[in-house]
């Protein structure tokens, strides 16, 4: 079964009702959408819908407007309730602005990571919406109903509502520490944690030497990774770094399988990789972890070893 999920269910903000349609300013061409917005993306209830921990908070969106063209970025970082894992991704969107409404359209999802222990095929939704502009006091709002399809399966999602409020300039000092501010033209491609060799292989991770590792072929850009202790439960604590992102941190591994889903980066310059980083040696060194890679067609099993001086790595390539 494919589960489709709204953007992020961790947001709860009180938006004013549009009682008076002062929604369109007398000179709508003067409306500037550029800047940071906070908002809520909700969804009607559906069977099997997961619960999130810490549902109160603010979701931040960055909008870039040039004439009637809009580009934007939204970042989702959410924890599932009952310690069942977390959901993480970035979403790029675009739109057309006519001075009173924004024709909103999601373009793509990047760096999608789902570690839910049960919902292995949970998806986000690629949304389309007509967001109506209105003002209440000094604040600007965009609001409307959305419809969409799963970002992998393309099945229809249960619809919902998008509500955004532009952050005032005087609020920015308070918001800076909580906001992901993105430069759309200069997105760093490699983490400071990782050092690369000339042949585009990882040389070091956090100043720890990375082995030559192995390269495996997969049949899909969407893969599931299962990890568990290879030999015995001896208190091994590990982290996993996938494509410069820590998708599992200081995790005490045992015989119980832990699953997470990732996407391959399709850009030509990218090397898709998974690095095992050890935080201890357990009772029986070295730190040894079994990895099962599933691509929807086949399963491949590997053993990675790491200690306090070296890390092991797997590289992924499409068939």
Tens place of pLDDT for every residue, the chain, 319 residues?
A: 334 444 454 333 445 555 444 544 434 457 899 998 987 888 887 767 788 776 544 567 899 999 999 999 987 878 888 888 888 888 999 999 999 999 999 999 888 888 887 777 788 899 999 999 999 888 999 999 999 998 888 889 989 999 999 988 776 644 333 333 334 333 344 455 788 887 888 989 988 999 999 999 999 888 889 999 877 777 889 999 998 888 888 888 888 888 888 888 877 667 899 999 999 887 777 888 999 999 888 999 999 999 999 999 999 998 8
pLDDT at 52: 78
Q: Are 307 and 278 in contact (CB under 8 A)?
A: yes
The first and second tokens of residue 181, run together, are 């501010």
62 shares its domain with 201: no
On whether residue 185 sits in a domain, the answer given is no
On whether residue 279 sits in a domain, the answer given is yes
Structurally, the chain folds into a number of domains equal to 2
Sign of the torsion angle spanned by Cα atoms 10, 13, 17, 18: negative
pLDDT at 76: 81
DSSP string, 111-179: EEEE--SS-TTEEEEEEEEEEEEEEETTEEEEEEEEEEEETTT-PBPP-EEEEEEEPPGGGHHHHGGG-
pLDDT at 98: 92
Q: Residue 92 belongs to a domain with what CATH number?
A: 2.40.128.30
43 shares its domain with 151: yes
- Residues in Cβ contact with 255 at an 8 Å cutoff, skipping those fewer than 6 apart: 228, 229, 232, 233
46 shares its domain with 133: yes
Q: What stretches of the chain show up as alpha helix (H) in DSSP?
A: 172-175
313 shares its domain with 209: yes
On whether residue 242 sits in a domain, the answer given is yes
pLDDT at 215: 93
pLDDT at 269: 66
112 shares its domain with 245: no
Q: Are 229 and 255 in contact (CB under 8 A)?
A: yes
* Longest CA span, the chain: 73
93 shares its domain with 211: no
3-state secondary structure (DSSP) of residue 204: strand
68 shares its domain with 207: no
Among the listed residues 119, 116, 113, 146, the one whose alpha carbon sits nearest the alpha carbon of residue 39: 146
On whether residue 124 sits in a domain, the answer given is yes
Choose the final residue of a domain: 178, 208, 229.
178
Distance CA 99, CA 3 (A): 36
Distance CA 109, CA 19 (A): 35
Q: Which domain holds residue 18?
A: 3-178
155 shares its domain with 212: no
Choose the final residue of a domain: 144, 178, 212.
178
On whether residue 187 sits in a domain, the answer given is no
Q: ω into residue 11 within 30 of 0, thus cis?
A: no
200 shares its domain with 173: no
154 shares its domain with 226: no
pTM: 0.58
Choose the final residue of a domain: 178, 205, 234.
178
On whether residue 125 sits in a domain, the answer given is yes
For the chain, how far is it from start to end, CA to CA, in angstroms?
26
Q: Are 251 and 286 in contact (CB under 8 A)?
A: no
229 shares its domain with 171: no
Distance CA 219, CA 132 (A): 42
On whether residue 292 sits in a domain, the answer given is yes
Distance CA 64, CA 20 (A): 28
On whether residue 313 sits in a domain, the answer given is yes
226 shares its domain with 159: no
Among the listed residues 163, 276, 150, the one whose alpha carbon sits nearest the alpha carbon of residue 213: 276
pLDDT at 196: 85
């Amino acid at each position: 079964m494919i589960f489709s999920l709204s953007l992020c269910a961790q947001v709860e903000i009180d938006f004013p009702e549009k009682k008076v349609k002062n929604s369109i300013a007398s000179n709508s061409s003067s409306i500037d959408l550029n800047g940071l917005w906070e908002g809520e993306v909700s969804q009607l209830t559906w069977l099997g819908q997961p619960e999130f921990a810490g549902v109160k908070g603010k979701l931040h969106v960055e909008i870039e407007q040039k004439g009637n063209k809009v580009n934007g970025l939204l970042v989702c970082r959410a924890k599932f309730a009952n310690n069942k894992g977390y959901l993480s991704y970035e979403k790029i969107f675009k739109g057309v602005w006519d001075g009173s409404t924004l024709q909103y359209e999601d373009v793509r999802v990047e760096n999608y990571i789902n570690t839910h222990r049960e919902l292995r095929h949970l998806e986000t939704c690629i949304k389309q919406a007509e967001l109506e502009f209105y003002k209440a006091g000094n604040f600007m709002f965009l609001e409307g109903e959305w419809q969409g399809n799963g970002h992998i399966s393309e099945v229809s999602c249960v619809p919902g509502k998008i509500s955004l409020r532009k952050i005032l300039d005087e609020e920015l000092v308070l918001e800076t520490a909580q906001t992901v501010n993105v430069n759309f033209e200069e997105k760093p491609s490699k983490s400071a944690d990782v050092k690369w060799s000339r042949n585009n292989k990882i040389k070091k991770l956090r100043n720890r030497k990375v082995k030559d590792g192995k390269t495996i072929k997969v049949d899909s850009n969407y893969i599931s990774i299962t990890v568990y202790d290879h030999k015995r439960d001896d208190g091994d604590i590990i982290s996993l770094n996938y494509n410069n992102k820590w998708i599992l941190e200081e995790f005490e591994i045992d015989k119980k399988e832990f699953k997470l889903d990732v996407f391959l980066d399709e850009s030509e310059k990218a090397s898709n990789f998974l690095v095992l980083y050890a935080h201890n040696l357990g009772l029986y060194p070295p730190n040894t972890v079994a990895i099962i890679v599933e691509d929807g067609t086949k399963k491949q099993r590997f053993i990675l070893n790491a200690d306090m001086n070296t890390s092991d790595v797997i590289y992924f390539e499409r068939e």
